[in-house]
Structure 1
Amino acid sequence: MSNTQTSSSHGKLIVAVVAAALVVVLALVSAFIWPGWALNKGDGASSQGATSQGASQNASEPTTPSIDAVALPDGASELLKAMPDSVLNFARTKADASTSWSGASPVEEYTLTYSTGTDGQEVTLEVAQWSQDEDAQGQYDNLTGAMTGKELGSGNVKVSGEATGAYSAKTDPNDETKAIAVWRNDTVVFQATGAKDSVRRFYQQFPL
């Protein structure tokens, strides 16, 4: 009887451990890889006036692309596969390996272009991943430290209410019609550049 009880308890313990591990894995997948995870770029320092103006402008802009997304290259990594086909009316038109941030030794890095099909509205997205979050944080600090334009927004990136990084968006100091947005989510760093209105709409709705 004692041996039977011990075996039963051991079996229940294994089931409980496996179930707990599965919950953790599903949480990670839904938080980063699964489309539509909750990214909060609204907990920031941008002014109410700018936020209201941006919301008004966004309401009148199309939310679906008028052009088809270009397929990813064969053998694309999980990071590259996580990049969306489209963001609002911006469709992915290019995706290439990159070495722009090679000095920071990322594990992998890519340059992507998203376009509405209208010249001058393209957004260039640089994305890279590191093995340690402190290395990603270092690259984020370097990029944002070099941004000297007018602030468009800043704050925390949140997943399910938990801060996983930060973001900062500023105008290009050499051309106020253009902007730069940088954000970090755990071990991944993103930088979006292009026309100010395009960048502002793009980074606020980017799902990663």
Structure 2
Amino acid sequence: MTHERAGSGGRAQQPRPRVRRSPTVYRRRRLVVGVLALLVLVSLLAFAGLVWPGFLHAEEPDPVPTVTVTASPPTPSVKPMQRPDGETAFQEALPSAVLQFALSELTETDAAEESEATEGWKATYTDGADLRVVVTAVQWPSADEATTSAEALVKAAGEARKSGDVKVGDDVVGQYALTPADGGRRTMTWRNGTAVLQAKGPAEVVEEFYRAFPL
């Protein structure tokens, strides 16, 4: 059954039909709302940049530098021997301490009497306990004579397990050779110009001892 309403003029009015909006209209509305929201966000960011400049230009924190901790070289726990007066320049060049080793004895060898060597010394270094390294140091008049002497010492010590150049800065001043010895010991022989040195001691310390030796 249909109901009619009377209008102001007494005329019956038909009810207005409902208008359905297409999906396109809703999409346009959502698009308009999204654009407005984006404009509001941009405005807020611009305002924050004016009020708080660091907000938009925050600097990255400086990188934390990498710190490399290098352990200090060991030092002797015992005092070195009292050095005698009137030492030669070559004798003085033999250090009183090398790493944890202290000079405990220094005697002259017969190198000058048995050969053309200028002088020779035998230096004993100890850690105050069980470790001991004995160094024989001989000075020669020329580099050629020192080379001949070093080669003979290396040959007498046996087959070298390791060898290479001895350098002072970038200059090559001689060669070194590491040879095994009996009883867990090793022998390091090297030439530095006209000086020839040979260190004998425990296998675990001889090479490090040689690298720390100043001559």
Shift in Å at residue 77 of structure 1?
0.5
After superposing on structure 2, the runs of 4+ consecutive aligned residues of structure 1 that deviate more than 6 Å are 59-62
Pair 1:83 & 2:94 matched: yes
Secondary structure of the residue aligned to 1:166 is strand
Partner of 2:184: 177
Equivalent residue number for residue 168 of structure 1: 177
**Inter-partner Cα distance in structure 2 for 1:177 and 1:73:** 33
Task: From the two aligned structures, give the one with the greater helix fraction.
Answer: 1
Q: State which of 120, 133, 141 in structure 1 corresponds to 2:143.
A: 133
Inter-partner Cα distance in structure 2 for 1:61 and 1:123: 21
1:148 is the counterpart of 2:155: no
TM-score normalized with structure 2 length: 0.63
Partner secondary structure for residue 142 of structure 1: helix
In 2, the alpha carbon distance for the partners of 1:140 and 1:197 equals: 23
Q: Which residue is equivalent to 2:77?
A: 66
Give the partner amino acid of 1:191. Q
Q: Give the Å deviation of 1:201.
A: 2.0
| Paired residue type of 2:74 | T
Q: Helix, strand or coil: the match of 1:125?
A: strand
- Taking only the aligned residue pairs, the percentage that are identical comes to 32
The residue type paired with residue 184 of structure 2 is T
Tell me how far 1:103 sits from its aligned partner.
Answer: 3.5
Given the two structures, how large is their TM-score scaled by the length of structure 1? 0.65
Evaluate the alpha carbon distance shift between residue 145 and residue 71 of structure 1 in structure 2; reply closer, same or farther with a 3 A threshold. same
Aligned residue pair count:
146
Contact 1:109–1:128 (CA<8 Å) still a contact in 2? yes
Query: Cα gap change, 1:126/1:64 in structure 2, threshold over 3 Å: closer, same or farther?
Result: same
Determine which structure has greater relative contact order: mean sequence separation of CA pairs < 8 Å that are 6+ residues apart, divided by chain length: 1
Q: Report matched runs for 1:187-198 at 5 Å.
A: 187-198=194-205
Q: What CA deviation, in whole Å up to 9, does each residue of 1:82-122 have, x standing for no partner? A: 11111110111111111157533210000000110112x10
Counterparts of 2:140 and 2:167, CA distance in 1: 19
The gaps in structure 2 that reach 5 residues or longer are 1-69
SS at match of 1:144: helix
Instruction: Name the structure 2 match of 1:97.
Output: 108
Q: Cα RMSD over matched residues?
A: 2.0
CA distance in 1, matches of 2:115, 2:102: 29
